[in-house]
Structure 1
Amino acid sequence: MTTKPPLAPTGKLFVIVALVEALTWTGLLVGMYLKYVSGTTDLGVWLFGRLHGLAFLAYVVVTVLAGSRLRWPIWALLLALLAAIPPLLTWPVEAWFRRRGLLSGR
């Protein structure tokens, strides 16, 4: 059985921000359902729209920082950046990067 190398500090930050980005996406999707489908309230869109906007910007900054510090290949950096666009894709990409060792110090 092989042991995986520990996450680098920048890798840990990427893990946290990827999770926050995915969770705020979830909140925004629930808010959009409540506003546009059930017509009950627009509070979820108001709140999670703002939170997700901040989380998205933080994710982009942390992704570029992690890609630079952890020396990701260009395909990994582009994939991580593109993962922020579809809902909830940052979380599985983060898990895949962790398995591949892209979040560990070299």
Structure 2
Amino acid sequence: MSKRSRPRLTVQLISHELLDEYMRYRNVSNVKLAAKVGVDTSTIAHLRRGARKNCDIEVAPKIADELGVPQCVLFVEKVIADWTGSNRNGPAITRKSA
């Protein structure tokens, strides 16, 4: 079985609004959460505003733990059957031209 057709386990954020609410409630900034869980600040920012839905399986429990909630409140596990590696982080970020 080639890498292109291998199933991949990932976790998906259930609601970016819920993540944002928990971060506000716990008074945790993007920078602080990113530093605590060991990811780039842009990763947290993309998750928080809904530009990205998928998260590394190792990172999701760290995010939930830092916010004091069970992982299943924020994330759901997904198996991507035909993962090719492209677009693995959710929808692409598009910017509107002025």
TM-score (norm. length: structure 1): 0.31
* Structure with bigger gyration radius: 1
> Which of the two has greater helix per residue?
1
**Structure that is richer in strand per residue:** 2
